[in-house]
Structure 1
């Protein structure tokens, strides 16, 4: 026998391989050659372009073609170790599990086994930490991570089981139509290649899949007992299939296998139909060598296109061979199958484009992650035991033992298959997805079984059908557990059991979802969907164990001791890695779906308190954060209004007081841009030692207050307090002093102004709160006309007028700014009225105050309001006292705004320093004086203050000189009655008229400028310290705010709460 001459020339300069095939005629008899796999430098003939002459002659022309060639590599005669067609579309769960043994990259299989084993360890620890009821994995996640996470992951896990049911049914139908009974396929046996979305094979899968789903549904509808009858049969078939595969390996190692395949250049496995005579197409036989010769007209026609092509015949005689498909256990085979080799769609070997009419080719592009997604469903059964937790006698014992034992058994089995297939099967045969190179039943795994391939075929079908039954049985129970917890209102329709105690409605819904997935008709598309749903569940099981291990809650006492937080964290990270490495788009969609369900449950779902780990995490985080905060005056950048709201929730007939409470909470909500904490307390007189009263009335008060806070969207805490009726002052003082925790104690007291016509007790309660709040150095917010303040649904337009009589640390500006940030007040325009006197340098004051507002990022119109000194005497004295007190403490810097005002006051010169030109100079001045302090003019005379006091008996000021630092320290004793020193010289009538007249003049100016404004914000005079001054103080406030619609009185502590720095 003479063969065609093949001349090769390797040009290393351009890294190409040039091949010329010269004609050579020979008439020797064909010889059948049985060859072992070799690593020759022979490129497959299909790399050449075979063309028939257009003239129709029988001569054939083989054109020259340049093929890329890497001279540093070895062109192998057998493409090594790629799980191509055979694993691209797995037929059954059992066979898919075997793929791990088919010369697949070891790291992929190891990573999956490690991940499932780590998940089993975490699952065992969680399952043994308390009683496990029905619901399995959902029950564990929801009770450990909360209803929101539990429901979102539970829904995904339910969808995973529903989709898995469809996947197993599609796999069973593939086994049925491709291998068991191919003649029942609608359209004939040739439709196997028509696998497009609307192809005939896909339509066959849809039709037969629907029929099989109906059969499965009727069996499950009869009850779980009928499903369990099929379990032993399926298990027996699977075990017998496993034994038959190992028996086949031993048998073929002892006795030479009769299974042969026809190869060209030992690289391409021909489709058997390409060279087997047509009259034998429906006949099964093993030895194909008699037909793998150049005498086979059909083979040469398909190979060369012309039987008389002498060059093609000569070449075929040299490169054509017939080899064993299952050579037995051999080291050479293992070495060739050891490394991975992935191919693109339409290739018969790596970087070799297939001739689809004759070659076995790749129908999908593969890589590590594609194979990973297809393989993963074979290891998703680790949750089967936990899903049936309601039917187990002792779940805490059965789940760990059964889950870990099953995982170890399957891992050992998979590793055995891996090395077995790498030793005893040729790589090209393993890559034959549908077994088209063989003449048996077609399934490669079935062909190597002993004593009969039917064992694997039947075992594959029963395995898939049994898995579909289990999924269709467990998924409705999982959904019923979710509906039973009553966290999703729209699922209440499925919270029904039939008379046999079966969730029939849930079963119907599951069957409908499975049917929708069956319509996809392709396992390659269904498997990734199932993967991500299961991976989300596994990730959260690992997260549970990790969180509990890290937090170390007292309730975390699992009986299973062989766990560690690092293993759980590693398992969760591997799950996320697999998700995003395989299909990051699918992973993103699944995460968004999980987040959407979480948000819906948080929004509409019933609130459940199961003592979950998320609450424990929040508690631990809060404790850690609080321990890191220092309990001292915060920096102006970090200051935020921490509100304390004290109210008496009334009985049902006191609607006015109830409306007041509601309006106060809405006002607190409108300040939420301050990101502060709100504490609301409901007080009620009674017997605090009466347990029945505390349990009933106090609980009712707290429930009402919590409801109002929820409606007003106030984020904070509420409580109720029962106090002795004769100890109201002590109760208020104790409450104000003890509210909050550490640095998160309230710094602002929100108290409604008593309405006109109210009873006297309302005034006393109001004044007591002001007095106690001021004594604790708290800021005060006093809304007058609270019933006219808007609610969250209202939208206010107009003006917000800020009457800046006294700079108290910037609270006046900050509160006004925060209100304007809320959508209720967003349409308003802010105006700031700065109080000046005749002797002030108003021009420079305006320029520098505008610069100050710009630096503070306050968008407002600045207006200078001119007053006589007696009209604002109370505020003037308070301002001077506040500044001196803060310098004496050396705890805060001089207020920038106050320095601007003081610098241009014509009536008073507090500073000996040179006048500062701009706010930046003043800021530098502040920073320099952090160390040295401000030196006050020792010659300042206080007689002016005493004269102001005589005109308006608002405050009594004592100004003793300090011999230690020669600074003036001022102690406040505000009274609203004349001091003992001047009491005898001032008649009572003149005293009252003077205070009222100053309030009337100030009110008249405010009414003139701001009567039609939407809101007026102004300074609150310092509350009196003695009860004898309460009457005059209230009279002054009434006159000051007369004829004003909405007023917010603000009292700051003097500490800076606003700054120009970022």
Structure 2
């Protein structure tokens, strides 16, 4: 009830109003559609050919591999279906609500194409069987007429299709009984236990044609919107269908190998007729199987397309439905047209591998979803049918591995289609009204990483910038945020923060608004950042609260970045606050933006060497800045001031040793000057694009104000200036 209320509140009331009436049970809504789709054209027209090529041993091996993939996929499908209330769209609905709309849409499109192409596959199979009775039959014309008739049944609605399937199932069962009752053992059957592949055929090429025999488990779940209780019907009906059809196929392959010669298996697609006690019943069963499979696919495909359109993955007009069951008439026409195009190909052996690729991709995605859902252990993931994540992961790997073995080129094309679809959908920046498991996945990864980071040995060599950007005016700090990102350089993390001076009751609403504002900015500018807005009685409490509470474990802010001219810099508590921050092992960076465009300045990044810890930090920051594409062509200069020329040689030797340890390509510069150091820096770096300069603790407590002695330097330097202080040099 809560999920329904939330969805309606978020604007999805129309989807609930258009939902098909749920009226089918496990047997009629899942088991029968799955069985009729699985026991289709391959059973009657290609199973003999498979045995003739692969022999009984390898044919059974193919069946076991294919059925293992299907069985694991059915387990995964059951787990997901019992955790999520399935609606129209079947597998697409389940994938999109777990991995998100972008990934769901990327898989939903191949699934839809597989279902739509399957219609033509079964129609062509039906036509091929009719051609045996009428050799002069116009194959394409007959296929198109058949497709039109099936389309008319589907147009009337799923209810008629479900009612018709019981008669079709009865016909199919009678046909199979006539085949199995006609069991006999042919002389020389031992030879058929071993393979004898024709021409360029191989195990995997034959497997590719055989695999569609077991791709029917999506028929039931595609009707999920029409089921009374999807969470119970889908697992039961799907698993029973997989088990039942597996037994049927095992018996059929054994019967074929024992009762027919290899030449007959390879040359006669209707070899089952010669083994049946009532050959006409085989034709009836074949027609029933192919027509029912085509009908099931033509009922399922439009519903998948309709679900894609409801989520705006496809054009919205395709979501329109007719009547209380919201029959997807427009989507049905589109699916039928795709079927027409594939019918014109008219070759089962060309269509079958294509279907295999799309279904394997879908099965792989279903397994991947179940594995990730189980592994991340979201508290909301509580399926009544549980599957270990490793089982589902094995199924996913098997699906993608088999795709590569079947046809590497087709696999690359299928994956390319999925990637393109995902990229297009990701750029649309959907905002969905449901929660998917991606946040749970990243939570699990972050949790594992944070615990490993917490238990790992911390060393200065592993230092990464975790910069607490303290914004006084959120709308006016674009340059501060820009250089915060440059210094982070995708190697660390930013904490975009703001302090509200006041009490909780009067500032609570403002805190929420500012947090949303920061979050929107992070999302729009794609920053590697977190937002943090705190309420404090004064600046000192705000900074210390941020430094203590902004991170988690060892992922804590280690550098405080503030802008020159900021109101915080003039705060009376600023010196004491900075001193406390340094004692909390956080570095200080005060940033002054450039007064001229960067293109008018010298393309150099100056680092003025001071104390060793502070100097090393400035070199690292300069290197991080240079690693950005916009600053990649700027040279780094390490500058050191000496009093007289006589100390140049020693200074150069010391710089050379220092730079050897830094392993950064820089230009060492010795500046000889007897004047005040800040005047020398101002003169040398006046037109440098960037300059890093160290500061001392005592300058924070100058009578004229914090860092007042650096004001002339700030005024003189035309480029970007960073005044830095490393916490290791607290006493300097």
* Equivalent in the alignment of 1:1008: 683
The structure-2 alpha-carbon separation of the partners of 1:727 and 1:1052, relative to structure 1 and needing over 3 Å to count, comes to: closer
Conserved? CA contact 1:145–1:613, under 8 Å: yes
Correspondence list, 1:384-783, <5 A: 384-434=219-269, 443-451=270-278, 453-486=279-312, 488=313, 491-498=315-322, 501-560=326-385, 563-608=387-432, 610-630=434-454, 634-649=458-473, 658-660=475-477, 662-673=478-489, 675-689=491-505, 694=508, 696-723=509-536, 726-754=537-565, 762-764=570-572, 770-783=578-591
Conserved? CA contact 1:677–1:715, under 8 Å: yes
Q: Deviations over 1:251-306 (max 9, x none)?
A: xxxxxxxxxxxxxxxxxxxxxxxxxxxxxxxxxxxxxxxxxxxxxxxxxxxxxxxx
> Could you tell me how far 1:480 is from its partner in structure 2?
2.1
Inter-partner Cα distance in structure 2 for 1:719 and 1:483: 38
Conserved? CA contact 1:117–1:404, under 8 Å: yes
Q: Deviations over 1:386-437 (max 9, x none)?
A: 1111100011111111111111111111111122122221222111145xxx
Structure 2 SS opposite 1:827: coil
Inter-partner Cα distance in structure 2 for 1:835 and 1:219: 90
> Could you tell me how far 1:97 is from its partner in structure 2?
5.5
> Could you tell me how far 1:630 is from its partner in structure 2?
4.2
The structure-2 alpha-carbon separation of the partners of 1:464 and 1:765, relative to structure 1 and needing over 3 Å to count, comes to: farther
Structure 1 SS opposite 2:704: helix
Conserved? CA contact 2:583–2:727, under 8 Å: no
Correspondence list, 1:206-245, <5 A: 207-245=141-179
Inter-partner Cα distance in structure 2 for 1:795 and 1:571: 60
> Could you tell me how far 1:448 is from its partner in structure 2?
3.3
> Could you tell me how far 1:633 is from its partner in structure 2?
8.0
The structure-2 alpha-carbon separation of the partners of 1:532 and 1:764, relative to structure 1 and needing over 3 Å to count, comes to: farther
> Could you tell me how far 1:829 is from its partner in structure 2?
2.9
The structure-2 alpha-carbon separation of the partners of 1:1030 and 1:858, relative to structure 1 and needing over 3 Å to count, comes to: farther
Q: Deviations over 1:677-730 (max 9, x none)?
A: 11112332343246xx63x4333212211222234332121132233xx43422
Select 1:108's aligned residue among 59, 62, 67. Answer: 62
* Equivalent in the alignment of 1:910: none
1:180 paired to 2:7: no
> Could you tell me how far 1:231 is from its partner in structure 2?
2.4
Correspondence list, 1:262-341, <5 A: 328-330=184-186, 332-341=187-196
Structure 1 SS opposite 2:532: strand
> Could you tell me how far 1:767 is from its partner in structure 2?
5.0
More helix by share: 2
Conserved? CA contact 1:216–1:468, under 8 Å: yes
Inter-partner Cα distance in structure 2 for 1:564 and 1:816: 48
The structure-2 alpha-carbon separation of the partners of 1:674 and 1:418, relative to structure 1 and needing over 3 Å to count, comes to: closer
Correspondence list, 1:826-841, <5 A: 826-838=632-644, 841=647
Structure 2 SS opposite 1:799: strand
Inter-partner Cα distance in structure 2 for 1:709 and 1:796: 30
Q: Deviations over 1:925-971 (max 9, x none)?
A: xxxxxxxxxxxxxxxxxxxxxxxxxxxxxxxxxxxxxxxxxxxxxxx
C-alpha RMSD of matched pairs (Å): 3.1
Conserved? CA contact 1:535–1:575, under 8 Å: yes
Inter-partner Cα distance in structure 2 for 1:736 and 1:232: 69
The structure-2 alpha-carbon separation of the partners of 1:529 and 1:568, relative to structure 1 and needing over 3 Å to count, comes to: same
> Could you tell me how far 1:860 is from its partner in structure 2?
2.8
Conserved? CA contact 2:699–2:706, under 8 Å: yes
> Could you tell me how far 1:540 is from its partner in structure 2?
2.6
Structure 2 SS opposite 1:1033: coil
> Could you tell me how far 1:342 is from its partner in structure 2?
1.2
> Could you tell me how far 1:114 is from its partner in structure 2?
2.4
> Could you tell me how far 1:749 is from its partner in structure 2?
0.8
> Could you tell me how far 1:116 is from its partner in structure 2?
1.8
So what's the TM-score if we normalise by structure 1?
A: 0.60
The structure-2 alpha-carbon separation of the partners of 1:231 and 1:788, relative to structure 1 and needing over 3 Å to count, comes to: farther
Larger radius of gyration: 1
> Could you tell me how far 1:224 is from its partner in structure 2?
2.4
* Structure with higher RCO (Cα < 8 A, 6+ apart): 2
Structure 2 SS opposite 1:643: strand
Q: Deviations over 1:165-220 (max 9, x none)?
A: 221122222223x21322233xxxxxxxxxxxxxxxxxx43x44344334433443
Structure 2 SS opposite 1:1042: helix
So what's the TM-score if we normalise by structure 2?
A: 0.86
Q: Deviations over 1:813-872 (max 9, x none)?
A: 11112112212222323333211122752024224424543553323332211233x734
Matched positions, count: 684
* Equivalent in the alignment of 2:712: 1039
Inter-partner Cα distance in structure 1 for 2:274 and 2:602: 83
Inter-partner Cα distance in structure 2 for 1:1011 and 1:671: 21
Unaligned runs of 5+ in 1: 1-89, 186-203, 250-327, 345-364, 435-442, 650-656, 873-1001, 1057-1062
Q: Deviations over 1:356-388 (max 9, x none)?
A: xxxxxxxxx211111111111111111211111
Q: Deviations over 1:474-517 (max 9, x none)?
A: 1121122233234x3x6445343346623333333323333333
> Could you tell me how far 1:92 is from its partner in structure 2?
5.5
Select 1:871's aligned residue among 654, 668, 676. Answer: 676
Correspondence list, 1:870-889, <5 A: 871-872=676-677
Structure 1 SS opposite 2:102: helix
Conserved? CA contact 1:669–1:713, under 8 Å: no
Structure 1 SS opposite 2:547: helix
Select 1:814's aligned residue among 620, 627, 633. Answer: 620
